[in-house]
Structure 1
Amino acid sequence: MRPTKSVAAIALVALFLAACSSGTTSPSAAATGGPASAAPSQGSIVSPSASAAASESAAASASAAPTADTCAKDGLALVTPGKLTIGTDNPAYPPYFLENKDGSKTEPWELGDPTNGTGFESAVAYAIADQLGFSADEVTWIVVPFANAFAPGQKTFDLDLNQISYKPERAQTVDLSDGYYFGNQSVVAMKDGPVAKVTSVAALKDFAFGAQVGTTSYDAIVSIIAPSAEPKVYDTNDAAIEALKQGTIDAIVVDLPTADFITNVQLEGSAIVGQFDSGTPEHFSAVLSKGSALTACVNDALAGLSETGTLDALASTWLPFQDSVPVFAP
């Protein structure tokens, strides 16, 4: 752990936001940019140290504790020497990635822009990079479709941040870091629909649900709600949202930050009905190649960011809504 550097992480994102122009565009798919301010606001998340179950699950894919030498920047085995290559999906959805304030676009990114340091995952990515010794202009972003990130095979990234929840089966094919966000799954429905006033898990069972394929959201439908009808599966969240809009399904299940974006931006007339019990929150992990020597270094970086409250500060800044959503009764 490097506490001194962790304390500097919040200041770093503010400095780079001031130094870098958010309106700069890049002609290539691999773009760089500077982080945003991470000053804390109201709200908090469960820190990694607060979830023993999460720590045990993450340990299944974590490497041995690193030394200063093994994590020295110049000695890291990287996809591109001297550059930290970070993957995420495109479109890059808020509140994880936000658009440039001046409305400019960085190719090829849609909706949000990972390169500008604004949004929760963009800010976390640059904080990790700083812990590893990389400046903002030494970070390269590439497009990696969600399911490709944890599919078997060689990776074109050093790490990937894309709201990927820890699952044991995923850890069979890739390394999954310790958690950088701990949260719950939630239900989104239309305000004028039959699900909108439901307050318990038991009352959800007779409704038609949908979720993106291969997600923990789908798993939550099956294992927590256990609906009478088999849930619908969609290739993307956008397809699931459209099905909800058209009335093909009664509700969708997504993680809480995604639910906030859907209800405030994507789907007019929708609402977050509730979130599931926070007793055993799932966590988002960075994805790395199976057996990557970088995994232990990323975990060390996350430990430092957690210890100094940086992860909580970033979550409070970019995900301030999470404590206001009601929890379903059994």
Structure 2
Amino acid sequence: MTAQAPVLALTCGEPAGIGPELLLMLAAEGVAGARPVAVGDPGLLAERAAALGLSVELVELSPGEAVPDATPGRLPVWPVALRTPSRPGVLARANADHVLETLDVAIRACREGHAAGMVTAPLHKGVIIEAGHAGFTGHTEYLRDACGVEEVVMMLATDAALHAERPGWAGGRSLRVALATTHLPLCRVADAITAEGLTRVLRILDGDLRRRFGIAAPRIAVCGLNPHAGEDGHLGREELEVITPTLAALRAEGLALDGPLPADTLFTPRHLEGVDAVLAMYHDQGLPVLKYAGFGRAANVTLGLPLVRTSVDHGTALDLAGTGRADPGSLRVAVALAAEMAGRGPTQ
């Protein structure tokens, strides 16, 4: 008997953004290899579907109820009510708690075995902070705290099929870029690069490449922090004093690590050949390269959690909300990747 496709909880994200319509577009097309369930307000989804002329039947369920096989034109929903009506492109602070509740419902469904993973549509950090959640910095950190783990790793991965179309780039396979630090002001990055932090991040990255991506012996290329990877200490000493000794200690544990390498030359076909993932020291060191290579055909992954979580590679696109011009390509990649990861069993 063929195993059933995994149930994936798809949060709608910021209700004024493109998240709800991306879920509807995907449902209208149909999904192979997964059984997606939207986590959001059914009324909002119905309104957005009608406005965009999408024929999608919404089926309200509760977590734990049987989720049917994916059928084009049908979308199961775990209802989470809006706090106030939402209009495309118009943020409402009152709905910040609604957005966080959708995350809580999806996390709980994964932890209780009702879903094999979760996929998140984009949220708007600013409106959540302005609504009173001053410490909120994003999905990644919220999931870390909700799951009670000490450290998680943010990684973006492109659709491998994209590189098969571009011979030479990334060896014809998925480009994966993980981050040593995530949503920090640039002035705080250097102080955040510590031996302890790098050790935790690289152990998680290596472990989940094995467990979640089925790579038996992952090879990881590590960026330096400074231009030219510090130029032997003349352009900064973090490589000499922190990064290089940490990599040496981890190599003694059996991790296959290259670096620290200058980021301006690491992201070239020759240096990426045979590399399974790149670790960048900060957000805008690695992600602009990945998004240039595969924006719209990449997914965000949170490693180190006791559940599977992927997301889109873009933001809320308030200017596109309600126009029907949003592209569900990244959501499609995120769902496929979550289904693939869920198929390899529990993380921990």
Bigger Rg over Cα = 2
TM range (shorter): under 0.3
TM-score, normalization: structure 2?
0.26
**Greater share of helix:** 2
